[in-house]
Structure 1
Amino acid sequence: MSSALVWFRRDLRSFDHAALYHALRRFGRVHCVFVFDTEILDALPSRSDRRVEFIWRSVQELDAALDALSRRAGGSGSGLIVRHGRADELIPALAAQLGVEAVLSNRDYEPAAIARDRRVAERLAEARIGFEDFKDQVIFERDEILTQGGQPYSVFTPYRNAWLKKLDGFYVQAYPVERYAAQLAPKAAGERVPGLEELGFVPTNLAGLRMPTGMNGGRALFADFAGRIGRYREARDFPAVKGVSYLSTHLRFGTVSVRELAAFAWADGGAGAQSWLGELVWRDFYHMILWHHPRVVTGSFRPEYDRIAWDAAPELFAAWCEGRTGYPLVDAAMRQLDATGYMHNRLRMIVASFLTKDLGVDWRRGERHFADHLLDYDLAANNGGWQWAASTGCDAQPYFRIFNPVTQSLRFDPEGRFVRRYLPELARVPDKYVHAPWKMGAADQTAAGVRIGRDYPVPVVDHATARERTLARFAVARD
């Protein structure tokens, strides 16, 4: 009987799964594996990492879901083979041990993942085992959306227009995995998902956060958002309002299907759904940019901006990381990130602008901090967002447009609800001062129970002065 091995990575679901579908349809017996890759895990800065726990919980659910899928199809049960070690060594070894003809996986677009998959493919070829990968985590990939001149887009709006023009039912059609589930191979006796501690990690506060894991968590969040999607365009920019989908982590780890989400928004057709569909287009856009221009991982998309003389400013960078810049909305956002691993999208733009344009710190340092802390960290989107805010990327915010942190706070958190949630020391500060508490006099500070400079910091920089320095900084780089 022909057999194959499906290698799960950032696609932790048992439905609408490209590689699993193709394997089940073509092979008589299909094994499934997930590797807790030490090449990735060993590089993490902490043994308490919410992403590892999210993956671990989602892998447990996937293991049970594959077993149930097999039994519903009349099989004797199945599940995940779970390994811990270097994937580029374990996958070829497991494939040889199982005697499979091919390993199938869904495609990854990050340079390190591409290099890893190349190593795996080479080792498999030595054993005369095939390796195939499939598009699954995006709607359109690589060269599927090009300019009329056959070149990749570098400006978002025409890319979005071409993306929407090409979209039809075929590209969002689900893969009918369940139809072929009888081919799922039984799991060997003794196979189990190792405990979190066995992987060298400890539990986090993930269970206490409003971030359900796995496929069931993704379904629950999607069902909740489906009832609110009509208000998305109006509510999306206000961090104290339940306006966004909260699906980014599930998209990152593939516990939801991007095809299902895009199909829903496309079929809805309303203003809110179309606005949200545009965010999925941005996601594809940044993955396309990363694939065509892997240099953006370490360098500016616009190379001339690699000449910018950024400030080292270790004390200012530390103040930004720890949420003590003296600008309430910036500090609240950074404290949200530290406490939850999540940050509202509008706030990501504001804090990135503040770091690069107010503090004059290299965007790469901020990008790295987000990479270490974001639960939904995705290299393509994170890099693209940071370069957009820093004005070094493709179709980026013009360098002379600099967010004023006080104005942004007044506009998007007018009552200070979000600020007060994460800055309890400002809980009693009146609305008129909560966005700029240093403007309070001594009497108002006493009444609010906070002393600026002692209980909450004075601003680490003056925004107007910092703005002029940024304009000069970019002017020199552009000469």
Structure 2
Amino acid sequence: MIDRERLMDQKSPAILWLRQDLRLADNIALEAVSHHLFFAVYIWDDEDPWSPGGASRWWLHKSLLSLHRSFQERGVQLILRKGKPLQVLKHLVQETKACAVYWNRCYEPYVIKRDQEIKSSLKQEGIFCQSFKGSLLTEPWEMQTTTKGAYQVFTPFWNKLKEISFARPLSVPDLQGFKPSVFSESLEEWHFNPTLWGRGLEEIWTPGEQGAWDNLSGFLNDGIQSYASRRDIPSGQYTSRLSPHLHWGEISPTQIWHEALLSCGKDSLPFLRQLGWREFSCHLLFHFPHMPFQNLRVSFSDFPWQDNPDHLKIWQTGQTGYPLVDAGMRELWHTGWMHNRVRMIVASFLVKHLLIPWQQGKEWFWDTLVDADLANNAASWQWVAGSGADAAPYFRIFNPVLQSEKFDPHGLYIKQWVPELQALNSPHIHSPWKASAQILEKAGVTLGKTYPFPLVDHAFARQRALDAFAR
């Protein structure tokens, strides 16, 4: 039973358990805990089967530093602990005589099961527990088809979502920090900074709540009006780049939704549709928890995938001989991010040109993306592979040369990330192997030495994929 007197005792603190909600504004759990003396805790669950990858850990390190400063300015402690969350929370309750624990929900299958067990166990010991919707516009179980089932097609899901009127975002509440000092582990001891790469991350990203708002403000001022017409161009900053801020909860989808509508009304819907895909992905993960591992379409279970570590490594390092594919993979390694159009192209190349299982691509993205999100990552890879609930048709195989000519016509994106081709111009930069020996020599390009020949022939790979899908 819940000890109500203890809950109302202002001398007993409450605990704010932070996860993917590293912000002060529009934080429902923070609003609830602000009625108590409280401290915040971030727990590194080292048994989580989907522990953040290398790039995400770098982001988390920076984001926690930023949040620590924000809490410190308001007299609130942010405690860091590593271990099983239930054990950590029980220890903190015992140490501080805490009366309540509040948190915002996450929706990964492992986390849902774990959180249910935590809530049940703490309540049995008289600790008040409450969780909230803090990272989505709608709960996955709230969106239902006319037959009360789960959506498996995005368009009707989006049509329903965009008609909902969402509550206005919450402002930062007044906070009352728990004064006795609580032991915290050191963030430096967690060794989240990558050793293989990281300089490129530092150059372009500012993790934290203020960084998220700076990104959103810049996009609303300069980018959203032309988003629909320019979002597929990878050579400029025509997208919001809010995805890592969203994943870590440095800004909420509700905040973005309201600010975008306030900025340009219904003209913002092409941009907000991307929030819709994020919601849809989480909806699918909740209803189909095997999505990160298994094909949603059972017919793909016998697909003749090829296990080819050499080809996988060539794709990972951006040495496929297709300039747009290589540019995308190198941008990913340098910055922890990749333009969305290029993500689709490189993913299609892996699963359809090379017939490598989508799960292997998903794992690479998980380790190298600063915005790696279990629902988005799995749903998007299955969309490209054709194995998802609402997937691209199997015969849609991106031609990397045509995609390059269409969306990077002057080769600006390629020249940025594949510098060995900088002296080539269109049309040769899109397919260097078609250029004459004289043009290549003038550009300082020696195929097979300074830049590779194509790993596979597109026409051959396309037909091989179509034959495999047909079988």
Q: For this structure pair, what is the TM-score category when the shorter chain's length is used for normalisation?
A: over 0.9
1:31 and 2:23 matched: no
How far did residue 222 of structure 1 move?
1.1
How far did residue 248 of structure 1 move?
0.6
Choose from 180, 186, 191 the match for 1:200. 191
- Give the aligned residue type for 1:200: H
How far did residue 175 of structure 1 move?
2.4
How far did residue 87 of structure 1 move?
2.6
CA, structure 1 residues 110+195, in 2 after alignment: closer, same or farther (shift >3 Å)?
closer
How far did residue 133 of structure 1 move?
1.3
Q: Which residue of 2 aligns with 1:221?
A: 215
Q: Which residue of 2 aligns with 1:285?
A: 280
1:378 and 2:370 matched: no
Answer whether contact 1:92 1:123 (CA < 8 A) is retained: no
- What are the equivalent positions in structure 2 for 1:128-277 lying under 5 Å apart? 128-165=126-163, 167-168=164-165, 171-178=166-173, 180-181=174-175, 183-186=176-179, 188-189=180-181, 191=183, 194-196=186-188, 198-202=189-193, 204-205=198-199, 208-227=202-221, 228-270=223-265, 272-277=267-272
How far did residue 423 of structure 1 move?
0.7
- Give the aligned residue type for 1:226: L
Distance 1:175 1:364 in 2: 38
Q: Which residue of 2 aligns with 1:366?
A: 361
Distance 1:61 1:89 in 2: 26
Greater Cα shift, 212-221 or 51-60: 51-60
Q: Which residue of 1 aligns with 2:21?
A: 11
Structure 1 runs (4+) greater than 6 angstroms displaced: none
Q: Between Structure 1 and Structure 2, how many residues are aligned?
A: 457
Q: Which residue of 2 aligns with 1:68?
A: 73
Identity %: 35
Answer whether contact 1:230 1:270 (CA < 8 A) is retained: no
Distance 1:336 1:242 in 2: 13
Answer whether contact 1:96 1:127 (CA < 8 A) is retained: no
Answer whether contact 2:20 2:247 (CA < 8 A) is retained: yes
Distance 1:245 1:365 in 2: 27
Answer whether contact 1:286 1:384 (CA < 8 A) is retained: yes
CA, structure 1 residues 190+100, in 2 after alignment: closer, same or farther (shift >3 Å)?
closer
Distance 2:208 2:49 in 1: 20
SS at match of 2:147: coil
Answer whether contact 1:298 1:364 (CA < 8 A) is retained: yes
- Give the aligned residue type for 2:45: D
Structure 2, unaligned runs of 5 or more: 1-8
SS at match of 2:40: strand
Answer whether contact 1:425 1:455 (CA < 8 A) is retained: yes
Answer whether contact 1:102 1:131 (CA < 8 A) is retained: yes
SS at match of 2:290: helix
Distance 2:358 2:31 in 1: 40
Answer whether contact 1:231 1:272 (CA < 8 A) is retained: no
How far did residue 206 of structure 1 move?
5.6
TM-score normalized by structure 1? 0.91
Answer whether contact 1:248 1:376 (CA < 8 A) is retained: yes
SS at match of 1:209: helix
CA, structure 1 residues 41+384, in 2 after alignment: closer, same or farther (shift >3 Å)?
closer
Greater Cα shift, 446-455 or 305-314: 305-314
Distance 2:262 2:192 in 1: 42
How far did residue 176 of structure 1 move?
3.7
Distance 1:66 1:296 in 2: 37
Distance 2:250 2:332 in 1: 22
CA, structure 1 residues 207+469, in 2 after alignment: closer, same or farther (shift >3 Å)?
closer
Choose from 411, 429, 433 the match for 1:416. 411
SS at match of 1:430: coil
Q: Write out per-residue CA displacement over residues 24-76 of structure 1, whole angstroms, 9 at most, x where no aligned residue.
A: 24xx322211123333599667xxx332232122212212212333xxxxxxx
Distance 2:65 2:178 in 1: 18
Answer whether contact 1:145 1:152 (CA < 8 A) is retained: yes
Answer whether contact 1:239 1:412 (CA < 8 A) is retained: yes
Distance 1:253 1:428 in 2: 40
Q: Which residue of 2 aligns with 1:357?
A: 352
CA RMSD in angstroms, aligned pairs only? 2.0
Answer whether contact 2:81 2:184 (CA < 8 A) is retained: no
TM-score normalized by structure 2? 0.92
Answer whether contact 2:48 2:110 (CA < 8 A) is retained: no
Structure 1, unaligned runs of 5 or more: 70-76
How far did residue 208 of structure 1 move?
3.2
Answer whether contact 2:101 2:129 (CA < 8 A) is retained: yes
- Give the aligned residue type for 1:301: L
Q: Write out per-residue CA displacement over residues 87-117 of structure 1, whole angstroms, 9 at most, x where no aligned residue.
A: 3321222123222222111100011222332
